[in-house]
Amino acid sequence: MKGMPSHGSSIRLGCFSLAIFLSFLAATVAPAGPGAWLDQAAPAGWQLDLRPSAEVVGWAGDTPTPALLDFGEDAFLAPRFSLEAAVAAGDHWFGQATVRLDRGFDAGESPDGALRLDEAIVRWRPWADERLNVQIGKFPTVFGAWVGQHDFFDDPFLLPPLPYAQIIGINDRDPAALAPRALAARAGGEAPPVAALSKQNWASMIWGPSYAAGAALFGSVSTVDYAAEIKNASLSSHPDDWDSSLHDPALSLRLGWRPDAAWALGASASRGPYLSPGVAGRDDLLQSALGVDVRWAHHDWILSGEWIASEFESPAAGDLRAMGWFGQARWKAAPGLWLAGRAGLMTFGEARGLGGRDVEWTPDVWRLEAAAGWRLTPRLLAKASYSFTGSSSDGGGPDGHLFGLGLGWRL
Amino acid sequence: MDHLKKSVWHPHRQDQTFAVPLLDLPLVRRLFTWWILGSVTLPAAETGTLTGVVPLPARRTGRIAIEKYAGSISGKVGPAPPVVAAVWIEGPGLAAPAKPPRVSFSQKGYQFTRSLLVVPRGTVVEFPNEDPDYHNIFSLSRILRFDLGRYKKSETPPPSATFDRSGLVRLQCEIHEHMKALVRVVDSPHFTTSDPAGKFTLAGVPAGTYTLHAQADEKTLWRSTVTVLPRRLTPVTLAPASPAP
């Protein structure tokens, strides 16, 4: 159905136009700007904030596209319009929602356009500081540290890090694809490799920021950060599953330590069902993940990295193990201008194939990235990136070059 | 009276010193009286005082000071500082001091300690961080682009920037988006800031005719021609003006 206009897409585009209209209305309705208008509209003790933003990223490179990008062309234009609304009622209640209209959560997934509610939370803070927050809704995972900077304006890169953005050999729609025969066929080249198949049916070790729905407790006490969440989908789940019910929940934890402003260290763990809701055996097959993150920053430099190990239970091929890491550096060359580089690697263990023989269930994959960002004004940011993805596969792997050029504006 | 003329201390001129004759007991008594009364300006023969009210714009609350994602705030976020206006005079023969001062503009409670700072051209402004987490103050304003990078509480000396062109500079923190402040750089030795109600007093101004400016942000600027009379308090009525650079 990809590329075919539909009645649904017309509705979505209509909603999109309405969202954009409302955004610009909010930006221009009052002579003093949107801030004054929102201040007048807010009840006493409340604070309202409305922030429209627009980004456009042009992609060009080899196919099949690496990461979670889902288009078949050599070049693809991915505009995205977002409207973020936030409300604070005193010091203790906070709400926030983000609606996006784009060509898919991962560029190319919905080429005709799709309107989504990506984030929607209600947060309660018993105290006015950060010692305890209770939150329900749809929000990024607490696992790892990258999610805290995944917005276009905060992330120096255009792609998420490798463990957060690479299809692996876990079919979350069809457990039969994890059977020894299927694994052996893919490993032997008798079946198409995962990289050549639709990304709709395959998982990532962690799917981007993982905006699954659920509840979380988190906070900071002195130099220690803590977070726990219970959600309706595991870290690897496809965005389509983030809106499901909380029937077989996934649990994630993170413990962080900031001994000094320069350093941030963290350890995360997660466990939950990785198959899509409705797939038989969902509650029996779990993804388990452990992660460690570190960040050091000083003046013009920020260095960070994460190491993640994950295990997927399979019906008959044993536990499918994977390990991934990335390290990145950002350096500010001038006011508003930065350069960044990143390296990432994912390696995969062996699974039980036909006759009990060990087979490689996903080829190892690595990625090198370089990026530059130029903040032209406080509201306008241009970013460029290049990445090369390589794999241990003899053919059909996600190998190739990818160029991206992005421009973002926000109120 | 010559010694008085030379020793006029402008509270806004931090490069000046006040020389008190050690044995001039009447002067010491007068100084003590003025200090008790809270006055900081000596009524020199050829200076006067300007006073007025800046019609400040309604305060905008701006971005909600709550972390969207955890990890950048460990303590409690303080209230945003109140809106104030920069007030200064310009006129023939007036220019920023040849040796401008060094000024501190700190961040505390994940806020700038004031919403607006006014400094003479050439001033070096230090930005000490008094919070347990990093701050990263930057400006992409046309007259001054700088980025201090990430710096912490204990850094000595604190990071600084030189404000060597007159105009309005907008400051932000890269890490805490709700943090915003302005620096008004003026080419004058006579300046002050209003209080949160808009009231201002600019004392120690040499007698003469000047243009008085007041500015609260990029869009709100007032201007008025004023004549300062010696030893007189001159009330000023401000008229809106077009934004200046």
Mean pLDDT, each 10-residue run in order, chain A (411 residues): 42 55 53 59 82 94 85 90 92 93 90 92 91 95 94 95 94 84 80 76 93 95 94 93 86 95 96 90 91 97 98 88 97 96 95 82 93 94 96 76 95 82
Could you tell me the two tokens for A112? 């005709």
The conformation of residue A183, written as its DSSP 8-state character, comes to H
Given a contact cutoff of 8 angstroms between Cβ atoms, the answer to whether B226 and B214 are in contact is no
Q: Residue B114: exposed, middle, or buried by beta-carbon count in 10 A (0-12, 13-18, 19+)?
A: middle
B157 — contact with chain A (CB < 8 Å)? no
Identify any residues that bridge with A319 across adjacent strands, giving them in sequence order. A313
Which pTM does this prediction carry? 0.84
| Cα angle value A120/A122/A123 (rounded, 5°) | 130
Helix (H, G, I), strand (E, B) or coil at A300: coil
Helix (H, G, I), strand (E, B) or coil at A146: helix
Interface touch B74/A218, C-beta < 8 Å? no
CA atoms of A406 and A391, how far apart (whole Å): 26
Of B16 and A53, more confident: A53
pLDDT of residue A317: 82
Chain B hits for A94, Cβ within 8 Å: 64, 66
User: CB under 8 Å to B197, separation ≥6 — which residues?
Assistant: B53, B56
Of A14 and B212, more confident: B212
Q: Residue A48: exposed, middle, or buried by beta-carbon count in 10 A (0-12, 13-18, 19+)?
A: buried
pLDDT of residue B245: 46
The conformation of residue A38, written as its DSSP 8-state character, comes to H
CA atoms of B126 and B128, how far apart (whole Å): 6
Band the pLDDT of B95: cuts 50, 70, 90: confident
Of A286 and B60, more confident: A286
pLDDT of residue A299: 94
Task: Please compute Rg for chain B using Cα positions.
Answer: 20
Least confident of A321-330, B38-47, B87-96, B143-152: B38-47
Phi/psi of residue A205, nearest 5 degrees: -55, -50
pLDDT of residue B4: 35
pLDDT of residue A70: 84
Given a contact cutoff of 8 angstroms between Cβ atoms, the answer to whether A191 and A408 are in contact is no
Chain A: residue whose CA lies nearest to B176? A154
pLDDT of residue B13: 41
Q: What does the mean pLDDT of chain B come to?
A: 81
Chain A interface test: which of B67, B68, B136, B180 (most A C-beta within 10 Å): B68
Given a contact cutoff of 8 angstroms between Cβ atoms, the answer to whether A290 and A268 are in contact is yes
Chain A hits for B146, Cβ within 8 Å: 335
| Helix spans in B188-233 (H) | none
User: CB under 8 Å to A81, separation ≥6 — which residues?
Assistant: A16, A19, A20, A23, A52, A53, A54, A100, A101, A102
pLDDT of residue A157: 97
Chain A: residue whose CA lies nearest to B158? A299
B62 pLDDT more than 80:
no
Given a contact cutoff of 8 angstroms between Cβ atoms, the answer to whether B91 and B212 are in contact is no
Chain A: residue whose CA lies nearest to B130? A261
Chain B hits for A85, Cβ within 8 Å: none
B180 — contact with chain A (CB < 8 Å)? no
Band the pLDDT of B38: cuts 50, 70, 90: very low
The whole-number average pLDDT for the span B183-208 is 95
B39 pLDDT more than 50:
no
Nearest-CA distance from B34 to chain A in Å? 42
Give the number of other Cβ atoms within 10 Å of residue B233's Cβ: 12
pLDDT of residue A189: 77
Chain A interface test: which of B107, B130, B134 (most A C-beta within 10 Å): B134
Q: Which of B111, B134, B118 is nearest to B180 (CA)?
A: B111
DSSP notation for A363-396: --EEEEEEEEEEEEETTEEEEEEEEEEEES-SSS
